[in-house]
Structure 1
Amino acid sequence: MRDLFTYNWQVRDEWFNWCAEQPLEELTRQRDGGVGSILQTLLHIIDVEVSWIRAVMGKPDVPINSSEYYTLKEIRTLSQQLRPEIISYFDDDFFMEEKKKVYASWLDESFDKKDVIAHAIVHEVHHIGQLSVWARQLNQLPVSANYIGRNL
């Protein structure tokens, strides 16, 4: 599963690069589906990933205030800043104890660790699909979501 996190980060970084080539008004325009805009969707992906992984770590959730992140640069920087905390926790034990209960404070509920990790991965894949639809609506080629060939 570690490779799937790496995959998500590679694809996310490629989306950041794609966004850098787009007009700001297209990145911030409210769209049907997804979380609203392209930038809001990228921020949401980051927020959900870090919230769930912090829950797995037994740490409190630190919600990301979307009103503090307006630009592509700010969102990209946030993604890069939060990644090391997640990577540092990827030791051999991270993917063990699959039945260990993980408490999600924002849901006041517990889930199996295995399910939380899988959810954190597929949540991003889901939203990357939405970004791809929006890219095509802009007559742009989306970032490739292909796992094969990424040498993970």
Structure 2
Amino acid sequence: MLKFFEYNWQVRDEWFNWCNQLTAEELVKDRIGGVGSILYTLFHIVDVEHSWIRHIQGKENIDIEFTKYNTLEKVNYLSDTFRIDIADFLQTYMNQTKNELVSVPWGEEFTKDELIHHIIAHEIHHIGQLSVRARELELNPVSADFIRRKFKSVDSY
């Protein structure tokens, strides 16, 4: 499971770098489908990952407002900051409590393991949307290849 978080983080960082070639206007331009702009998609990925991890930990959700993180640099900083805490959690969580149930605000229950899988799939889904955005702009997207990547260990974040 940790490798998929490492994969998502590496790909996300590559998307942050990829975005440097775009103007601020292109980053915030509303797009059809998905959650909106390229920048908001990256913000959404970071926010949702952080929110679900806090929920799994039994912690109160922190409402992060996009208006306070509305530049590429700010979203990247938010990603890096949250990643440190998430990596620490993943080091201790993985096999110890994965079958514990978590009640979500809308009344359903899921195991922690199901939610971890959901977090991973959620980011991969939105990264696919960013690839479509790149093609619409006639630019090459970040590679989604898993097997040719070199990963750091989670404890290096």
Native 8 Å contact 1:50 1:82 kept in 2: yes
The aligned counterpart of 1:53 is 53
Q: CA deviation at 1:22?
A: 1.0
Secondary structure of the corresponding residue to residue 103 of structure 2: strand
Secondary structure of the corresponding residue to residue 91 of structure 2: coil
Q: CA deviation at 1:118?
A: 0.2
Q: CA deviation at 1:66?
A: 1.2
- CA distance 1:28–1:93, change in 2 (3 Å): closer
The aligned counterpart of 1:99 is 99
Q: CA deviation at 1:92?
A: 4.7
Instruction: Give the TM-score of the pair, scaled to structure 2.
Output: 0.91
- CA distance 1:93–1:40, change in 2 (3 Å): closer
Q: Which runs of 5+ in 2 are unaligned?
A: 152-157
Q: Which runs of 5+ in 1 are unaligned?
A: none
Secondary structure of the corresponding residue to residue 91 of structure 1: helix
The aligned counterpart of 2:73 is 73
The aligned counterpart of 2:82 is 82
- CA distance 1:108–1:66, change in 2 (3 Å): farther
Q: CA deviation at 1:114?
A: 1.2
Secondary structure of the corresponding residue to residue 102 of structure 1: strand
* Structure 1 residue runs of 4 or more that deviate by more than 6 Å after TM superposition: none
Is the deviation greater in 88-97 or in 77-86?
Answer: 88-97
> After superposition, what is the alpha-carbon deviation per residue over 1:53-92, rounded to whole angstroms, capped at 9, x for unaligned?
1111111111211121111000000001111110111225
Give me the identity figure in percent: 48
CA distance in 2, matches of 1:14, 1:25: 20
Alpha-carbon RMSD across the aligned residues, in angstroms, is 1.3
